[in-house]
Structure 1
């Protein structure tokens, strides 16, 4: 029996969780579902510019697991962009990191949530 997966630690949970191509009715679109932890991997690597080892530490996973999460995320995003699919951000096995910034919902990019 495989051991249960460990929760990945995330610092950012998006308020906007759905993206779709402009001008295409929602009922006509297929979706790619991007997990919250996959979005966090992309954020840490591509936006924050962390190397995989440092990003893996922040997410509380091994470097090889981080690489797998990142590869899956980039594949889903690429498929959606190339094929004109919608992207829904939801789910995944994660926990939100407690922060000292005073934000209420941990929906931030490096600072307190603005009012």
Structure 2
């Protein structure tokens, strides 16, 4: 019996999930990229982390991260070179959350991190002003690793 797949932690969910040629010449085939494949590209190529750091953030082994990253690059290349539509959907992931505290009313709750934070608000008073409760002396959160949730 195969071992069940572990969920991969992601910190980013794109607002736009379909990409392709602007001139309408794209072929009918759609390439589906998972959220964790997109996250691997974001961590390696935009954040500049090494594979070990990326694997740690996504809660996977380095070899698993390498497979995810390699597949993501192959899909991007196929989409660009062959003018195919690229669609972001699906996968086996969890969204990173951290314990937040409202700076106005003091309410504590589990808040999403990364780009999802712009939509996050205090469930009690509706304020968008909050911060992580796990911050260390240097201002970096021990829970999510960010300066502010």
TM-score w.r.t. the length of structure 1 is 0.86
1:113 to 92, 109, 118: 118
Q: Bigger radius of gyration, 1 or 2?
A: 2
Distance 1:22 1:101 in 2: 41
Give the corresponding residue for 1:81: 80
In the superposition, the TM-score normalised over structure 2's length comes to: 0.67
Partner of 2:22: 22
Give the structure, 1 or 2, with the largest relative contact order (CA under 8 Å, sep 6 or more).
1
Give the equivalent residue in structure 2 for 1:96: 95
| Structure with more helix by fraction | 1
Root-mean-square deviation (Å): 2.4
User: How many residue pairs get matched?
Assistant: 112
Higher strand share: 2
- Given that residues 97 and 112 in structure 2 are in contact (C-alpha distance below 8 angstroms), is that contact kept between their aligned partners in structure 1? no
